[in-house]
Amino acid sequence: MKFAGLRRRLSAISGARVRTESWGGIVHLRRPAALVYVNRGLLRALGHPEDPLWASPTPGTAHRAPVELHWTLSRRCDQKCAHCYTNSLPQAPAFDPADAERVADALSAAGVFQVALGGGEPLAEPGILIVARALRARGILPSTTTSGAPVTPDLARRLGDFAQINVSIDAVGPAYAAARGHDRFAMADAAVRRLQAAGVRVGINAVLTRHTFDALPALLDYARERRVSEVELLRLKPTGRGRATYLEDRLEPAQAAALLPTVLEAARRRRLRVKLDCSLAPFVYQHAPDPRVLKFFRIHGCEAGDSLGSLDAEGRLSGCSFLEPVAGDAVSVLTRTWSTDPELARLRGYRDAAPDPCRTCPALALCNGGCRAVSVHLTGDPHRPDPECPRVRTHAEGSARDDR
């Protein structure tokens, strides 16, 4: 946004949230809803008081706290989906809503802007409305993802605190059952319609597997027909129940290579907003896309432990919901030691000490080495390059040939 435009907006919107960072700060505009990254000079010009973080003449690039936090409210769910990343079950640990105010206070103190409430089935948790209200009261935007099972017309009318609710639909028709192990497409579709009827902004979350890839155009047709606000495509992760069948279910290399051209053409033809999940970054960057394409898909590489954090159902903090928790009390890491925790620092600092072939990759600054969750599953080390990245595959094949 241009300087004059931003100044007009800031002066027009009293109480815009500003979180200072070493390079300047992040401004949360309400209308249009946006997080705007601004430098020190601009914040000074806008009258923001001097901040101790600005004392160093060389600003860093790391965030001092998560911008977005994924909060797993529970691992309770009776859907038994085949690749559930949290291994959710009908009886499982859940967050105690009596703690909602305390955790919301900590997130506010840390400067978190957005919280995605997950599960399990978050909308089946009686405390979710209390949590959403506590977050809203502090200017934090809550969103959530649901299978659709609990969404009655009555519940849909009580979800006004949510900025957006995504319904999990990996595919339409028979491919839905192939992906999830049961056919509940009609249930998910009913949830989309009920939420929209209640005025909720609705999106779709779709996990890509080799079984659903060819059904993607049909899913985007459905999304267009329902006029959902966006479709987020996610890479399958080898966590929870997804771990056991990961090798059989993950995208084939040819599908991964075809992903960007396929989705770009399909999204443009349908005039649909499509977001690509961070873990798909290596498949996107292999095409050296135009920056406008990256902006269109709102894709960036691994943000674990930098602008992204996660709180699990047991109250433990990690750099991303697919990674192991770090040591220590979650609230105190969030509010005091996010910048200095050694595991989080190593995750966000991958690009500073990247091994080959990431070290010489033109996309390193954006990609940050691919998905750490895939790396740890396939190599045992979250700090290795993502083995499914095409460039990493080629490098490994070359090394294997040299060894022979």
Which residues form the interface with ligand SF4 (CB under 6 A)? 278-279, 282, 285, 302-304, 308, 320, 322-323, 357-358, 361, 363-364, 367, 369-373, 385-386, 389, 391-392
Q: Toward ligand SF4, which CB reaches closer, 175 or 344?
A: 344
Q: Toward ligand SF4, which CB reaches closer, 146 or 239?
A: 239
Dihedral sign for Cα atoms in the order 362, 363, 368, 372 = negative
Could you tell me the smallest distance in angstroms from the CB atom of residue 300 to ligand SF4?
9
What phi and psi, each to the nearest 5 degrees, are found at residue 366? -90, -40
Query: Following CA atoms 361, 281, 122, 29 in sequence, which dihedral angle do they give, to the nearest 10 degrees?
Result: 90
Burial class (CB in 10 A: 0-12, 13-18, 19+), 321: buried
Could you tell me the smallest distance in angstroms from the CB atom of residue 341 to ligand SF4?
16
Q: Toward ligand SF4, which CB reaches closer, 194 or 235?
A: 235
Helices (H), 237-379: 246-249, 253-270, 281-285, 291-297, 330-332, 342-348, 364-367, 372-379
Nearest Cα neighbor of 123 from 96, 150, 104, 142 is 150
Q: Toward ligand SF4, which CB reaches closer, 125 or 388?
A: 388
The secondary structure of 106-117 as a DSSP string is HHHHHT--EEEE
Q: Toward ligand SF4, which CB reaches closer, 142 or 305?
A: 305
Name the amino acid, one letter, at 266: A
Q: Toward ligand SF4, which CB reaches closer, 119 or 127?
A: 119
Peptide bond into 120 cis (omega under 30): yes
CA pair distance 78, 131, nearest whole angstrom: 22
Token code pair at residue 174: 């028979």
